[in-house]
Structure 1
Amino acid sequence: MLTALVRLHSALQEVRLPLALPGVEEQRADRAELVTQLEDYLIPRVTTMDGPLLAVVGGSTGAGKSTLVNSIVGRRVTESGVLRPTTRSPVLVHHPADAGWFGQDRLLPELVRVDRPTNDPAALQLVASDAVPHGLAVLDAPDVDSVDASNRALAAELLAAGDLWLFVTSAARYADQVPWELLRQAAERSTSVAVVLDRTDPDDAGTVATHLARMLASRGLKDCPLFTVPETTLTDDGLLPPGAVDDLHAWLRALAADADGRAAVAIRTVLGTIRTLGGRSHLLAGGVQAQIAAAARLRESVAAAYAESVVAARAATADGTMVRGEVLARWTEFVGSGELLRSLEERVGWLRDRLLNAVRGRPQTAELVARSVAVGLGSVLVEHAEVAAGRAAAAWRGDPAGVSLLAEAAARGDDLGRATPTARREAQALAREWQDGLTRMVRAEGSDTRSTTRYLTVGIDGLAVALSVVVLSQSGGTLAVESPSAAPGAGAVAQRLLDAVFGEQAVRSMASRARGDLDRRVEALLTREGARHQAVLDDLGLVPAAPEHLREAARRVDDLRFRSTRGTGGGHGDAVPARPTP
């Protein structure tokens, strides 16, 4: 069982619930409670089943818990008073011979051990006293309904770490809702409970005790002992007068002296607590599964948004619409009125010098065309990156799981609905790198061409520019029907220019390779843009296998518990001895 509980604890450590799905706050609280229960109680208790029984004293504000503990011990070991909250730091009173059981590595390991009074809620004050019987320890906890939220949380944590609850209430507070919710949980876990009705007018004690006993019975706690402490004047030391807690003190001593009784209480509480682990763990696994499914849904929406933009960007760079505006003007300057093309289509030979004069200055014009193409291509890619980011953000805004992620990113200064700040720089770098690739392609092809004169006439830069115009005007391997805003026949002119130098087959091969290179670069750029959305999801720390790990661990614990209860006949008898007859 110890191994199974440790594995369950490990499986719970894998659980992440970062997305703001419906019910997630309750699931987070449940996970924290399960982990705390394993760390603070179950694993330490199963490790040392023969250790002292821990009785946690809890209850409502002003019920007199601290005064009761001090009166049991016979001296002031925990602070009491009218200012609330009184008990901020828990106090554990034990027999001196039991001191070794409450070290830092045992019960409530997260609380620092101290030997003096403190208001530090992260500390546990240990007090050794012969007034507490050997084999039993008493832990004074903060108010379960404290005005301080951290006090309430600590009280619940301490109660969950107890083998036995000494639940203190008063005639004025016994019907309050908060204590009864905790008592309901105790009944569900089969935690052993004794109730102390404190500060009760002797004339009303019988009526109030009878009503309280009925309430306990209706909530599955009919067998728990009920002690009554009358309203009385405290001694000068702030203790109840002698005899006020004799019944309770005698009951605790009888329980401590009965080794079998102590073991029965511990076993009942341990198995009762373990019984609740399975169902709660399976419910929690379902919550984790919902988180993983939601994250996958968000991933798919991002992937779809950017995949759509990749397709759109490829289309926008292949339908001739880019060969317009500044690009069109610079291209027209470069090719002139067709003189360059006509010259190339003639036999050159003795006209070489004349042709060189005709294209004097064109290398500079080619650079202007290339620059315009780079700027235009960069702008188109940024536009599609913006569209993809907006589409992904819109999908997240329509999903409860995505709304908080967008808000958290915005708080960090990252607007996931816009392209990254570096998108324009990267897009323009992409365009320049693609053009450099075209230049290398033209140079490699030109080294084998027979039309050296024509190659030299136009120049490497000019031919690379022409190749870019062909690619940007080509869809599906053929020249696109150019838009009305594009230059009439701009792509065709560029292709004829290249055909005149390299031949039709070579140009077709170069254009295909250039198109493939551009498509790969466009996809890579937009994938990088979408990666920041994916990184947000990666940072959630969700483990796909976590739900199944949790279910497997819970099933193992359930199987062992079932074998244990079956081996003992399915019950544990009356774990808490009845209140002794006065």
Structure 2
Amino acid sequence: MSEAGDGGQLLASLERLRTELDGLRLPLDLPDAGRGRAGAAAVRDQLDDYLLPRLRQIDAPLLAVVGGSTGAGKSTLVNSLLRERVTRAGALRPTTRSPVLAHHPDDAPWFTGDRVLPALARSTGGDEPGGPAGATSPAASGLRLVSSPAVPAGLALIDAPDVDSVVDANRALAAQLLAAADLWVFVTTAARYADAVPWDLLAGAARRGASVAVVLDRVPAGAGDDAVLREVRADLAGMLSRGGLGAAPLFTVVEADGGDVDGLLPEAAVAPLRSWLDGLAGDARRRSLVVRRTLTGALDSLPERLAPVAGAASAQASASGLLHDDVVAAFATGREELETELTDGTLLRGEVLARWQEFVGTGELFRSLDAAVGRLRDRVGALVRGRPAPGAEPVGAAVRSGVADLVRARCAGALDRTRDRWASRPAGAQVLALAGPALELPDGFDERVARLVRDWQRGVLDLVRAEGEGRRTRARVLSFGVNALGVALMVVVFASTAFIPTGAEVGVGLGAAAVGQRLLEAVFGDAAVRALAARARADLLRRVDELVDVPRRRLDEVLDAAGVDDAAADRLAAALADVAAARRADA
């Protein structure tokens, strides 16, 4: 046995392709995901079962797989070619539960290891496991090796399960074995030769340039010169030609008059096929031509066979991107709504407005803003005498409650929008199931919102203190009190965008903000008030962004955990390009 000496670059590129396929995941249940997974598995199996072992050992024995429809007589044909029962034949279906590989004793080292079909467990000698001839089993169960001097050296025969077996696993294994073959010996009958399932496989073999021989089996005795037989052969030959298999040799096997002897067809019935196989096995050049043709065809077919795989991988990346975009869009909308409501006067309604009016001490803010400022100065002047200003804390508590309610509502709304957007996607049900609690507000969210607002309020008071460090300003700050000025600054922040619709209730809120602004301007000046309001607003939005980022990240983590590889299609394309470049270099 020898390694292929001139295909090192090609072998390395195929091994890279194999690695890419092994790591490929198509986790989202998209319409083309099933086809992509099946295509990736089929190519990966052929790489393992045929392309890689054949390139590593180009002079290994020719592997011929005897395949075909149920009841075509495959097992009987194999036994008859070798003149001994190496595989089970019988009336009950499926008879071939485990594929049987018959080889010459000198060729045993090629097959006893995992050089080809590494995923199939090996057994040797005896009959198929599981019972007497004719017994059935739900599925194929490994590869049974039979050493026989009747098999010509340089050639091995596999008796495969039916390609149209009632057992799904048997059909899948039959297709896998055919993809691992250097030569497919397709066995059919006059009654079954036009069946759709085997012809689908034959069409695939033609597209891949595989080497095929066709056996028209179970021809009734005495029909060799019959016009019906000639018509059948001519029709079958025409179908082969139209299917791209016109060069495939066609053999006819006639049954014995009195039936098979000891379960074997007469030697004369299988002599033409036996002679052809012997000639193939004994001629290194002919063997090499068959191998090279099938190998070239398999390599040529890789781009076409992997196109749906790459398409499915691209679809996964696109779908994952859209799902991530859904999260971004939902939270961006919530952020926009929240920023508007925190700064357009929305908060200056209800409890916040009522507590602020109580604190200012007037319900007629439009009539005399200056008077309201004077009254506020009187109410907070108690700070100079060491007594706390009345009414500031109820305003602060109302602010905390109002801001917390808004943040909670907008964050919950973003989660709801995400849920609705995901539900409309092809993989929506799957990602919704994966998300679970991530689509709800996290535990302790309300407490974190309340802490956020308290921290922001302390920050506002710190801004007021810092702005009042000058001697003249400090006196004015002390005359009103830090708490009173801080509350006034909060009220100004909540109406700082001037994007306020008309209406009586909002008008009162705007008037309330105007009182606070006049008060602050009296202490700090117009420019300073604008800067303080901008800083306080930015600080509030920054804190909210940090808080809301937690539930948003949880959704991103759910999507990341789904396992979509955004670069998989690109890497697959690069691996295929490497294969093409290696083939050109080896040409």
Bin the TM-score by the shorter chain: 0.7 to 0.9
Spell out the pairing of 1:3-402 with structure 2 (5 A cutoff). Answer: 3-13=12-22, 15-19=24-28, 23-115=32-124, 117-118=128-129, 121=140, 123-205=142-224, 206-207=229-230, 208-232=232-256, 233-235=259-261, 238-240=263-265, 243-281=268-306, 284-337=309-362, 342=374, 345=377, 352=382, 359=388, 362=390, 365-396=391-422, 402=425
Instruction: Tell me which residue corresponds to 1:403.
Output: 426
Q: Determine the C-alpha separation between the residues in 2 that align with 1:104 and 1:380.
A: 69
Structure 1 residue 252: Cα displacement:
2.2
Structure 1 residue 75: Cα displacement:
4.1
Query: Structure 2 unaligned runs (5+)?
Result: 1-9, 130-136, 364-370
**For residue 538 of structure 1, what is the amino acid of its counterpart?**
D
Spell out the pairing of 1:468-507 with structure 2 (5 A cutoff). Answer: 468-475=490-497, 484-486=504-506, 487-488=508-509, 489-499=511-521, 505-507=527-529
Q: Determine the C-alpha separation between the residues in 2 that align with 1:347 and 1:325.
A: 23
Structure 1 residue 321: Cα displacement:
1.1
Structure 1 residue 443: Cα displacement:
5.0
- 1:508 maps to which of 518, 522, 530: 530
**For residue 222 of structure 1, what is the amino acid of its counterpart?**
G
Task: Check the 8 A contact 1:80/1:87 in 2, yes or no.
Answer: yes
Over the matched positions of the two proteins, sequence identity in percent amounts to: 46
Structure 1 residue 17: Cα displacement:
4.3
**For residue 60 of structure 2, what is the amino acid of its counterpart?**
G
Query: Structure 1 unaligned runs (5+)?
Result: 568-582
**For residue 551 of structure 1, what is the amino acid of its counterpart?**
A
Task: Check the 8 A contact 1:470/1:492 in 2, yes or no.
Answer: yes
Structure 1 residue 293: Cα displacement:
4.0
Q: Determine the C-alpha separation between the residues in 2 that align with 1:453 and 1:96.
A: 109
Q: Determine the C-alpha separation between the residues in 2 that align with 1:366 and 1:63.
A: 95
What is the aligned length?
552
Q: Determine the C-alpha separation between the residues in 2 that align with 1:367 and 1:87.
A: 87
Return closer, same or farther for 1:493/1:562 CA change in 2, 3 Å cut-off. same
**For residue 228 of structure 1, what is the amino acid of its counterpart?**
T
Q: Determine the C-alpha separation between the residues in 2 that align with 1:124 and 1:382.
A: 63
**For residue 165 of structure 2, what is the amino acid of its counterpart?**
S
Structure 1 residue 496: Cα displacement:
4.2
Per-residue Cα deviation, 1:20-43 (whole angstroms, up to 9, x for no partner): 555454344333322222222111
Q: Determine the C-alpha separation between the residues in 2 that align with 1:449 and 1:123.
A: 93
Q: Determine the C-alpha separation between the residues in 2 that align with 1:495 and 1:121.
A: 85
Per-residue Cα deviation, 1:395-415 (whole angstroms, up to 9, x for no partner): 5555xxx232x2013334638
Q: Determine the C-alpha separation between the residues in 2 that align with 1:518 and 1:512.
A: 10
Per-residue Cα deviation, 1:71-94 (whole angstroms, up to 9, x for no partner): 344444433333333333322222
Per-residue Cα deviation, 1:515-565 (whole angstroms, up to 9, x for no partner): 11122233344444444454454345444544444334334433554566x
Spell out the pairing of 1:410-425 with structure 2 (5 A cutoff). Answer: 410-412=432-434, 414=436, 424=446
Task: Check the 8 A contact 1:356/1:457 in 2, yes or no.
Answer: no
Instruction: Tell me which residue corresponds to 1:573.
Output: none
Structure 1 residue 393: Cα displacement:
4.7
Q: Determine the C-alpha separation between the residues in 2 that align with 1:110 and 1:531.
A: 41
Q: Determine the C-alpha separation between the residues in 1 that align with 2:409 and 2:382.
A: 45
CA-based RMSD of the aligned residues comes to 3.6
Structure 1 residue 191: Cα displacement:
1.0
- 3-state SS of paired residue (2:533): helix
Task: Check the 8 A contact 2:383/2:479 in 1, yes or no.
Answer: no
Q: Determine the C-alpha separation between the residues in 2 that align with 1:290 and 1:352.
A: 69
Instruction: Tell me which residue corresponds to 2:132.
Output: none
TM-score (norm 2): 0.81
Q: Determine the C-alpha separation between the residues in 2 that align with 1:510 and 1:190.
A: 78
- 3-state SS of paired residue (1:517): helix
Task: Check the 8 A contact 2:39/2:308 in 1, yes or no.
Answer: no
Task: Check the 8 A contact 1:285/1:547 in 2, yes or no.
Answer: yes
Q: Determine the C-alpha separation between the residues in 1 that align with 2:266 and 2:569.
A: 56
**For residue 403 of structure 1, what is the amino acid of its counterpart?**
P
TM-score (norm 1): 0.82
Q: Determine the C-alpha separation between the residues in 1 that align with 2:383 and 2:318.
A: 71
